[in-house]
Structure 1
Amino acid sequence: MHFSVITRVIGLLVMVFSISLIPPIIVSLIYNDGALDAFLYALLVNLLGGFLLWFPVRNARGELKIRDGFLVTVLFWTVLGLFGSVPFFLSENPDLSFTDSLFESMSGFTTTGATILTGIDDLPKSILFYRQWITWLGGMGIIVLAVAIMPMLGIGGMQLYRAETPGPVKDTKLTPRIAETAKALWYIYATLTSVCALGYWIAGMSLFDAICHSFSTVAIGGFSTHDESIGYFNSVAIELICVFFMIVSAFNFALHFFAWRHKSIWHYFKDPEARFFLLILSSTVLLSTLVLAMTSTFDWSTSLRYAVFEGVSIATTSGFSTSNFSNWPHFLPFLLIVTSFVGGCASSTGGGMKVIRILLILKQGLREIQRLIHPNAVIPVKVGGKAIQERVVSAVWGFFSAYLLVYIVLMIGLMATGLDQVTAWSAVAATLNNLGPGLGEVSSSFASIGDPAKWMLCFSMLLGRLEVFTLLVLFTPMFWQR
């Protein structure tokens, strides 16, 4: 383990992150919102903190190994959450404790969208912008962005890419060079964000709201500049734009890369993961519409409108809202939370276990049924007509088991703090799946729960963003053995 090199990398990345505080400083100057000092002090803290980490080991050099990559990834997301909380902590509005500041920061960077804030409409514009901005940075992963500039820093980036990129297969590169892969992903990400912002602006949002909501839409983060979220605008056009970009952002970004490279969209319809994802969305929307309309909760057109938006928002783990789905009848609140466990496609900005894993688990289950009938048959698990390696299938089952075990342990931990079962169940789902809203006490915000519960949920957000294994591997004795 190259601890000096790892410390140098963390220090460099923290100093690079400090540059990201310049945009909210500019916003504060434009609107004269009173939060300027908080961001200036935060900039100083980040620069000084990064410098103190980097300077003692500034001459350390060496190629990062796989274990180093895991440690850098976990440490950076943890340190990022800490340093990112400084503006929230120093700002007079909102007046947050350290725990609440860390919760809000971690929720933004992990694109969870869970919030402890109320009265969002009255917050300084720069604070509102900062929440959306850190969500956008976390969406594709700042580590992937860092990988793109690693060659300039003299540090290898493949190990960081493997540790950061979501999905069961981590070695796939869109281009021969990993830095070029990271750049390609960010070009696509920035382009989608720009087009989304333009669409919101044309549909009637103010320029500020359009930019801010484009950040959290493409990042599938769910933060909004209003307490009523997207429902504040009461616009079908805005909702449709939001739905479109939530779906697009939940697709595997490799599909967007090939669409750009080959000037074709047909591979979207041929991709088995994308087809299964659309099947889940359409089934959820159809069932929700029928239940809402047949229970006379809304009329048919309103039922369809709310079902489409909430179904897509929750299933993609975005967490935007136009209606309080926690008050919907019968099983619908439970159903929507369950869809967030599936989440987006691999290599997307969505959370959850990822669509491809669920698809592989279903196909593996079907194979076991077939083996009962034909015990001696060799039946491969196939996706898109191609056989999947047994190693990948086993890894998916291992991930599924670890995910559920972590979920149960966290839920029991939350219940031990005094939360009721529904609140604890949905709070873990909302954070582990990087969803945002929950049920019970956390249906609107997480402000009412205690600090021990918030710390556990911060850990849950980090587990979800790093896909469990990346973080859990650090707790195994084997990881630290030479």
Structure 2
Amino acid sequence: MQSQLIIRILGILLMIFSVTMIPPIGISLIFGDGGGGAFFSGFFISLFTGLLLFLPQKNLKGELRNRDGFLVVVLFWAVLSLFGAIPLYLSNIPEFSVADAVFESFSGLTTTGATVIRHIDELPHAVLFYRQQLQWLGGMGIIVLAVAILPMLGIGGMQLYRAETPGPVKDSKLTPRIAGTAKALWYIYLGLTIACAFAYWGAGMSIFDAIGHSFSTVAIGGFSTHDKSIGWFDSSQIELICTLFMLISGINFSLHFAAVRRLSIQPYGKDPEFKGYVTIIAIVTLVTALILIIKAGSGFSKAIGDALFHTVSMATTTGFATEEFYAWPIFLPALLIFASFIGGCAGSTGGGMKVIRFLLLFKQGSREIKKLIHPNGIFKIRIGNTVLSENIIEAVWGFFATYVALFFVFMIILMADGLDQVTAFSAVAACMNNLGPGLGDVAANYADISDLAKWILSIAMLFGRLEIFTLLVLFSPAFWRS
């Protein structure tokens, strides 16, 4: 284990992160609400700590091994979330404990969108902006940005990219060099954010709200500058814009890159995961609309609008809301929560288990049925025209089994802490899937659960963001053997 090199990288990344606390200071000066002091302190604490880690190893150069890359990614997300909590804790938010600050920071950077804050509208503009910014930075992963500049510092970045990028297949690159891949991803990400912000602004949002909500929309985060989320604006045009950009951001970014490069929408039509993604959302939307019309007595247009918005929001694991969906009739709240288990496409900013894994599990189940009928038959699993190796299928099954086991452990701990079954189940689902809103006692926010539950759910968010194995591998004795 190259501990000195890892410490050097962590110092660099922490210094980079400290710079992100400067914009909230500027926002505080613009609005004059006195919220900048906490970010001034957070900036110097993060910068000083980063320098303290970096300077003793400043002349050290080397190439990361795969094992080192996993440790850097986990340390980076964990440490960054802890330091990201500093300005939140120092902001004098009412009834805000250390556990609350860490939970909110983890929720922001992992793009979960769960909050422990009750009166969001009353927060200083600096805090509001910072929460939105955390989600934007976490959306694509700050490490993907970092690998574009780490090679210039004498550090190879491919190991970081493989450990960070979501999805079951992690070796594909958009460009020959990893730095070019990171830049390509960020150009697309930045372009979508700018387009979303202008669309929101044109639809009637203030510039502040437009920028803030574009951050959390493209990041599939779900944080809002208002307690009522997108519903605060009471605008069908804003809801439509939000739905469109959530839908786009839940698609594999490599498809966006291919479409832009070819100036064609063909890459989307040829991708099996995209087809599955659209099909799942269409089915859930249709079911939700029908139930709202039949059981809730909603008008046709309102039912379609509410169903489409909340299905896209929950299925992509964004977590925005315009209505109290947890009060909808019969099984609809549970249906929307279960949609988040599938999540967005691999290579998107969405959470959940990813559509591609769901498709592979479905195909594997179908294959097992065929084997029962034809025991001597040989059946291959295909995605499009590609025959997948058994290693990938085994990896998907391993991921699913580990996900279920961890889910069970987290849920049992929360129930032992005093939460009821519905609250515990939905809270773990919302955090592991990086969704945000839950049911029961966490439907509105997570303020009333215990500090222990907040720490456990913060860990669940990290497992979800790093897709379980990146973090779980650190608990293997073989990982630490030299």
- Place the TM-score, normalised by the shorter chain, in its bin: over 0.9
Aligned pairs for 1:255-270 (under 5 A) are 255-270=255-270
Determine the structure 2 residue equivalent to 1:361. 361
**Counterpart Cα distance in 2 of 1:367 and 1:455:** 41
Match of 2:110 in 1: 110
Alignment-mate amino acid for residue 479 of structure 2: F
The CA RMSD over aligned residues, in Å, is 0.8
* Paired position in structure 2 for 1:33: 33
How far is the alpha carbon of 1:49 from its aligned partner? 0.9
Residues 169-190 of structure 1 show CA distances to partners (whole Å, capped at 9, x for unaligned) of 1110000000000000000000
Superposition deviation, residue 60 in structure 1: 2.7
Aligned residues: 482
How far apart, in 2, do the equivalents of 1:276 and 1:330 lie? 26
2: distance between equivalents of 1:178 and 1:270?
25
User: 1:71 corresponds to which letter in structure 2?
Assistant: L
Separation in 2 of the partners of 1:44 and 1:414? 36
The separation in 2 between residues aligned to 1:135 and 1:164, in whole angstroms, is 16
**Aligned position for 1:421:** 421
Shift of the alpha carbon at 1:95?
A: 5.3
Alignment of 1:325-340 (within 5 A): 325-340=325-340
Task: Give 1:402's aligned residue.
Answer: 402
Q: Describe the shift of the 1:297–1:407 C-alpha distance in structure 2 as closer, same or farther (beyond 3 A).
A: farther
Paired with 2:180 and 2:61, the residues of 1 have a C-alpha distance of 22
Under a length normalisation based on structure 1, what TM-score does the superposition of the two structures give?
0.99
Which aligned pairs between 1:183-198 and structure 2 lie closer than 5 A? 183-198=183-198
Matched ranges for 1:17-416 at <5 A = 17-94=17-94, 96-416=96-416
Structure 1 moving runs of 4+ over 6 Å:
none
Q: Measure how far apart 1:153 and its partner are.
A: 1.5
How many angstroms apart in 2 are the aligned matches of 1:4 and 1:85? Answer: 26
User: Residues of 1 paired with 2:385 and 2:369: CA distance?
Assistant: 20
Task: Give the residue type in structure 1 aligned to 2:195.
Answer: V
Structure 2: where are the runs of 5+ without partners? none
Give 1:15 deviation, angstroms: 0.4
Q: Distance between the aligned counterparts of 1:290 and 1:20, measured in 2?
A: 45
Distance in 2 separating the partners of 1:93 and 1:470? 33
Task: Show structure 1 runs of 5+ residues with no match.
Answer: none
Cα drift, residue 55 of structure 1: 2.1
Q: Partner amino acid for 1:186?
A: W
| CA–CA distance in structure 2, aligned partners of residues 212 and 95 of structure 1 | 24
User: 1:124-149, CA deviations, whole angstroms, 9 ceiling, x for partnerless residues?
Assistant: 11100000001000000001011111
Instruction: Give the superposition deviation at 1:94.
Output: 4.8
- Cα distance in 2, alignment partners of residues 59 and 180 from structure 1: 25
Distance 2:149 2:60 in 1: 18
Deviates more, 1:94-103 or 1:190-199: 94-103
Q: 2:296·2:328 contact (CA, 8 Å) conserved in 1?
A: no
**Equivalent-residue separation in structure 2 for 1:105 and 1:465 (angstroms):** 13
Q: Secondary structure at the match of 2:38?
A: helix
Name the amino acid aligned to 2:418: G
How many angstroms apart in 2 are the aligned matches of 1:344 and 1:7? 33
- Letter of the 2:52 counterpart: L
Per-residue CA deviation, residues 341-362 of structure 1 (Å, 9 max, x unaligned), is 0000000000000000000110
Contact 2:296 2:329 in 1 (8 A): no
Matched residue SS, 1:91? coil
Percent identity at matched positions? 60
Q: C-alpha displacement at 1:446, in angstroms?
A: 0.2
User: SS of the residue aligned with 2:205?
Assistant: coil
Mapped partners of 2:266, 2:472: distance in 1: 38
Q: Is the 8 A contact 1:11 1:53 kept in 2?
A: yes
Quote how far apart the aligned CAs of 1:299 are.
Answer: 2.2
**TM-score (normalizing by structure 2):** 0.99
The answer on whether the counterparts of 1:120 and 1:226 sit within 8 Å (CA) in structure 2 is yes
Q: Is the 8 A contact 1:93 1:124 kept in 2?
A: no
Per-residue deviation at 1:297?
A: 4.2
Describe the SS at the equivalent of 2:149.
Answer: helix
* In structure 2, distance between residues paired with 1:302 and 1:402: 40
Contact 2:344/2:351 (<8 A) preserved: yes
For residues 260-305 of structure 1, the C-alpha deviation after alignment (integer angstroms, 9 at most, x for no partner) is 1100012212211000000100000000000111013422222111
